[in-house]
Amino acid sequence: MSVRFDQVSVSFGRRAALNRVSASLMAGSVTGIVGPNGAGKTTLLRAALGLQPLSHGHVDVLGKALADWPREALARAMAYLPQGGEARWPMPVEDVVLLGRLPYRGFGPPDLKDRLAAADALARCEAPHFARRRMDELSAGERARVLFARALATGAAVLFADEPAAYLDPSHQLRLMDLLREEARRGTAVAVTLHDLSLAARHCDRVLVLEQGALAADGPPAEAFADATLARVFKIAREPDSLQLGAFRRL
Amino acid sequence: MDATTVSILQEQRFSRSARWTLALIVAALVFALASFLIGPADYAPRELLMGLFTGKGAAGVIAQEIRLPRAALALIVGAALGGSGAALQGLFANPLAEPGVTGVTACAGLGAVVAMYFGLVALHPLTLPVFAIAGALIAAAILYALSKSGAGAVALVLAGVAIGSFATALTALALSLARNPYAMSEMVLWMMGSLKDRTLNDLSYALPLVACGLGLLATTGRGLDALTLGEEAARSLGIAVGSLRGRVVLGVALATGAATAAAGAVSFVGLMVPHLLRPLFGYQPSRLLVPSMIGGAAMVAGADVALRLITPDGQLLLGVITAMLGAPFFLWLILKLRRQP
C-alpha cells in the first residue's frame, strides 16, 4: 500500500471539503478520482502531499506517517502535477523538465543522471524533439506534455496528476492514459483526477467517486460506476441503446 | 539523446555562462578603475594608484578618501540593485518587478532621510542604514502581501507607484520639517541618487550589509527555479516556500536599504540588468542571480564614468543617467508584455 487515507477530513471555514475519507492507493495501479466540481478531488491530492492541513484523520505514505517525512525525502517519494500548471518564464523545455529533479539536487547544477532522467521522461512523453525549444514556442497541448514529463522526471513512487487530460486532444488524452499505465507498470502508485468518466472507466484499475467531500464509491470501474452511483452523484444515466462506452444522458 | 551528447551540451552551456560572467567581471572592474581615475582633481593615473597604496600627499588623500569610496560604492550599489531586481522578478514571476519601480528604494530613501535629518545618526552611525533597511523592508513586505492576495503583474507595479509616491511625499515632508536650509538640493540628491562626496564611512557600513543581503539572495536560486512552476508544484518539489519568500524580502531589504543609505534612490538598474542578461544566461532565475549582481555593478560603475565624462563639474546625478536609460526601457517592456497572449 503506497498511500493510505485514514478518516481524512479537511474544512475550509465551516465548509467540509473532505469528510472522513478512508481509501488506499496501491503500488502498480492507476486510481482514478472522479466527482462533480467541488467534490474534493484536488483537496484529496493536496492532503496526501501535505499541502493541505487536515482537520481530522491522518495520511500514511509508503508506510510512514506524512508528518514524519523530511521535506526533501517526501518530494522524492511523491510527484505532483497541479491542475492547469504553467511555467512562468519562457524557459527551454529541457530546463523545465529538469526541475523535476530538484529534490535530488543540492545547490549544484544538474548532473548526468538528472539529465538522463529528464531526457528519458521527455522521450516517454513523445517530446524529445522539443528539448531545445522554449515553452512559449509550444502549443497548450505540447506544454501540458512537457509539464507531465517534468513530473515523470522525478521518478517518484507515487504520482499525482490533477486533471492532466484537460488541455489535451483526444489522441493525446489516450496517450496520456497509456503513459500513466506504463508508469504504474514500473511499480508506481498513480492517482489521477478526471472529469471524463469514460476515460476513467477504460483506463483506471480503480475509481474513487467523491460526492461533496465524502467517498461515494471505491472499487473497480464497473462497480464504482454503478447506475445508482451515476444517478445520485452525477445526475446522469447510461444511454441504454448506445454501444458506445461512456455515452451518458442527463437525468 | 545519449550520455555523451548530454554531457557535451552541458559543458557547452557551462562554458558559455562562464565566459559571459568573466566578461561582466572584467567590464565592472574596468569601469570601476575608470571611475577611480577620472575626477575634477587632475592627477595622473600613476599618482592616484601610488596614493591609493601609500596614502601620502594630496593625491593619496583624494585616492583613499574620495575616489576609492566612490568607485567601490558604485560596484556595491550596482550589485545590490541588480541582484535585488533579479530576485524580485523571480519571486513575483514578474519582469517589471524591481526595487525602484516597486517603491522599495523610495521607502529606503525615506528611512535614510528620517534618520539623517532628525539627528538619529548622531546617536549611532548605523542608524542611517538601519532606518533605510527598515523602510525597504516595509515596502517589500507590503508588495509580498499584495502578491499573496493575488495581485497580477501590472497591479503590483501600480501598487509600487503608489508606495513610491507616498514615500517620496513623506521624504519631502521630512526634509521640510527638519528645517534644513539645503532641504531642496538635498532632496534631489536623495530622490535621484548620487555617489558624490561619499566617504570611507559610507563604504564601511554599505559593504557588509549589502554582502549579507546578496548572500541571502544567492541562496534563493533553487527555490525561485521551482517557483516558476507555481507555488503548489514548488512545495511538492520540497521547497519551503514561506522561508524562500522571507529570504528574498529580507535580502532585498538589506541590499537595497544599505545601497540607498549610501547613494540615494537609484532607479531602473534592477529592471534593466536581468533583462539584458536573459538572452546570455537564460530565463531560469538561478542562472540570473549572480550575473545580475555583477552586471549591476558594471552598469552603475559605467554610468558613474559616463556622467563624469558628460559633466566633469559633477552636476549630473547618477539616478538621472539610470532613469534616462531605464524609463524608455520600462515602457518598451510594458509594450512587449502587452503583445504576449
- The two beta strands, A64-65 and A56-61, are antiparallel
Percent of chain B with pLDDT over 70: 94
The pTM for the full model equals 0.90
- Tell me the shortest Cα–Cα distance from B257 to chain A, in angstroms: 27
- Tell me the shortest Cα–Cα distance from B188 to chain A, in angstroms: 37
**For residue B341, what pLDDT is reported?**
47
Query: Chain A contact for B279, CB < 8 A?
Result: no
Interface of B with A in 104-163 (CB under 8 A): none
Summarised one tens digit per residue, pLDDT across range A56-70 is 999 999 999 999 999
- Candidates A85, A116, A136; nearest CB to B229: A85
Share the mean pLDDT of chain A. Answer: 91
Q: How far is CA A3 from the centre of its chain?
A: 13
Enumerate the residues of chain B whose CB falls inside 8 A of the CB of residue A46. Answer: 232
Provide the residue-wise pLDDT of chain B in tens; the chain has 341 residues.
555 566 556 666 668 889 999 999 999 999 999 999 988 888 888 888 888 888 888 888 888 888 999 999 999 999 999 999 999 999 988 888 889 888 999 999 999 888 888 878 888 888 989 999 999 999 999 988 887 777 776 788 888 889 999 998 998 888 888 776 776 777 777 778 888 888 888 999 999 999 999 999 999 999 999 999 998 999 999 999 888 988 999 999 999 999 999 998 898 999 999 999 999 999 999 999 999 999 999 999 999 999 888 888 777 788 888 988 888 988 888 888 776 64
The size of the A-B interface in CB pairs under 8 A is 92
- Helix, strand, coil distribution of chain A in percent, nearest 5: 40, 25, 35
Which 3 state secondary structure label does DSSP give B67? Answer: helix
Rounded to two decimals, the ipTM of the complex is 0.92
Closest CA to B33 of B75, B62, B81: B75
Which 3 state secondary structure label does DSSP give A156? Answer: coil
**Are B227 and A88 in contact (CB < 8 Å)?**
yes
Distances, alpha carbon B274 to alpha carbons B89, B131, B231, B269, in Å: 9, 27, 22, 9
**For residue B217, what pLDDT is reported?**
97
- The two beta strands, A214-219 and A206-211, are antiparallel
Question: Roughly how many angstroms between the first and final C-alpha of chain B, as a whole number?
Answer: 32
User: What are the beta bridge partners of residue A160?
Assistant: A80, A191
**Are B233 and A119 in contact (CB < 8 Å)?**
no
Enumerate the residues of chain B whose CB falls inside 8 A of the CB of residue A191. Answer: none
B89 to chain A: nearest residue by CA?
A: A89
A72 to chain B: nearest residue by CA?
A: B238
Enumerate the residues of chain A whose CB falls inside 8 A of the CB of residue B14. Answer: 109
